[in-house]
Amino acid sequence: MKKITNSIFPLFCVIGCLLITNCSTPDSSKIENSGSSQIIPTSSAQSNIGIKKIELKEEVVPIKLGETEIKVVVNKSSVAFPVYLYFNMHDNENTAVEATKEIISKNGGTLIELQADGQRLIKFSLNKKQYTFDPNRIFTDIGIKKTLDNYGDYAPEAQKEVSNFANKLAKDYFQNSKLLVAVHNNTEGNYSIKSYEKGQEFGNDAKLVFINPNTDADDFFFVTEEKFYKLFSEKNYNVALQDNEKVTDDGSLSVYCGYKKISYINVESEHNHLKEQVKMLEVLQDLIKNL
pLDDT digits (tens, 9 = 90+) for 69-95: 999 999 998 776 556 799 999 999 999
Q: Where are the alpha helices (DSSP H) in 151-289?
A: 156-169, 226-234, 253-260, 274-288
Mean pLDDT across 232-247: 97
Q: Is the pLDDT higher at 283 or at 288?
A: 283
Residue 58: CB atoms within 10 Å: 11
**What confidence category does residue 291 fall into, taking pLDDT thresholds of 50, 70 and 90?**
low
Res. 278: pLDDT tops 90: yes
**Predicted local confidence at residue 178, as pLDDT:** 84
User: What's at 64, amino acid-wise?
Assistant: K
Smallest CA-to-CA distance from 93 within 114, 69, 70, 71 is with 114
DSSP 101-162: HHHHHHH--EEEEEESTT-SSEEEEETTEEEEE-TTS-SSHHHHHHHHHHTS---HHHHHHH
pTM (2 decimals)? 0.81
Res. 169: pLDDT tops 80: yes
3-state class (DSSP) for residue 11? helix
Res. 102: pLDDT tops 60: yes
**What confidence category does residue 132 fall into, taking pLDDT thresholds of 50, 70 and 90?**
very high
Residue 183 · residue 100 · CB < 8 Å: yes
| 115 CB burial (10 A radius; 0-12, 13-18, 19+) | middle
Mean pLDDT across 169-197: 93
* Residues 6+ positions from 163 with CB-CB distance below 8 Å: 138, 141, 144
Give percent of the chain above pLDDT 70: 80
**Predicted local confidence at residue 82, as pLDDT:** 52
Q: What's the CA gap between 285 and 103, in Å, rounded?
A: 10
3-state class (DSSP) for residue 198? coil
Mean pLDDT across 9-30: 38
Give me the chain's average pLDDT, please.
84
Q: What's the CA gap between 151 and 79, in Å, rounded?
A: 41
Going along the chain from its start, the domains and CATH numbers come out as: 2-50 (no CATH), 56-288 (3.40.630)
Q: What's the CA gap between 250 and 145, in Å, rounded?
A: 10
Res. 165: pLDDT tops 50: yes
**Predicted local confidence at residue 77, as pLDDT:** 87
Res. 198: pLDDT tops 50: yes
**What confidence category does residue 54 fall into, taking pLDDT thresholds of 50, 70 and 90?**
confident
| 216 CB burial (10 A radius; 0-12, 13-18, 19+) | middle
**What confidence category does residue 17 fall into, taking pLDDT thresholds of 50, 70 and 90?**
very low
Opening angle at CA 148, ends 146 and 154, nearest 5: 105
Max avg pLDDT among 21-25, 73-77, 205-209: 205-209
Q: What's the CA gap between 76 and 56, in Å, rounded?
A: 5
